[in-house]
Amino acid sequence: MHAATAAPTNVVTTVATNVVIVCYDDFTDIDVFLPWEVLNRVPQHMTRGGWRVRIVGDKSHHTSFAGLVIPMHGHLAEANAADAVIFTSGKGARRVIEDEAWLGQFRLDPRRQLIGSMCTGAAILAKLGLLRGLTATTYPTSVELLRSLGVEVVEEPIVTHGNVTTAAGCLAGQYLTQWIIESLAGPAAAEAALASIRPVGEGCVALPAAPAKTPEPKGLTGRRQRAISEA
């Protein structure tokens, strides 16, 4: 299994870590739902202040390539303040990269954010200027598209340059999510999330329960007890 490499540069996290998946019409179903599922398996108690995942778009609902209509949690602009952003893949990517108004919604900064893509989503990163001078990977049917945008394409499941990562092939979504989780919550949280989706007999482990809270002492509070004992 390919091992993702955590981002080496500093990412400023908020009280709750926010991860956004950017969606549009004609998205590839698995390239939204696999990352969504894995990212939502991150145990809250293993994060720094909480963990939130949202799917955003430029409409209230978007329709997948397979015809599934899903509601959005918010608007594209949420990506600009997120700790991590994933651009999904699909036939719709070829449309949005020609939509200057859509592209103009983004004010992303890899100095403070993790930014990733699935398959044809790499073309969106290229149009936003995020792959300038970098190699990248994409789905086989999108190789020529990405090359036409001035990007050197390599045949790898995941390619990471600092805080920018491209992943290709639907099941490479697990490598992209691993990179994000390791970078923002640590290797233990990433392993917990990924182990919970592996086949049984091949490393499947149930998600760890949150540690039990220490019960408050009955009667006087701990602080009050200490004050009395120190008086």
Beta strand 61-63 with 69-71 is antiparallel
The CATH superfamily holding the domain 17-230 is: Class I glutamine amidotransferase (GATase) domain (3.40.50.880)
| Residue-wise pLDDT tens digits, 107-143 | 999 999 999 999 999 999 999 999 999 999 999 999 9
Q: Are strands 84-87 and 114-118 parallel, antiparallel or unpaired?
A: parallel
Alpha-carbon gap, residue 122 to 114, rounded angstroms: 14
Place 214 in a pLDDT band, splitting at 50, 70 and 90: low
Tokens standing for residue 57: 């778009």
Q: What is the pLDDT of residues 160-208, one digit of tens each?
A: 999 999 999 999 999 999 999 999 999 999 999 999 999 999 999 999 8
pLDDT at 181: 97
Alpha-helical runs (H) found in the chain: 29-39, 92-96, 100-103, 121-127, 143-148, 173-185, 187-195, 222-230
pLDDT reading at 8 higher than 70: no
Write down the pTM of the prediction.
0.86
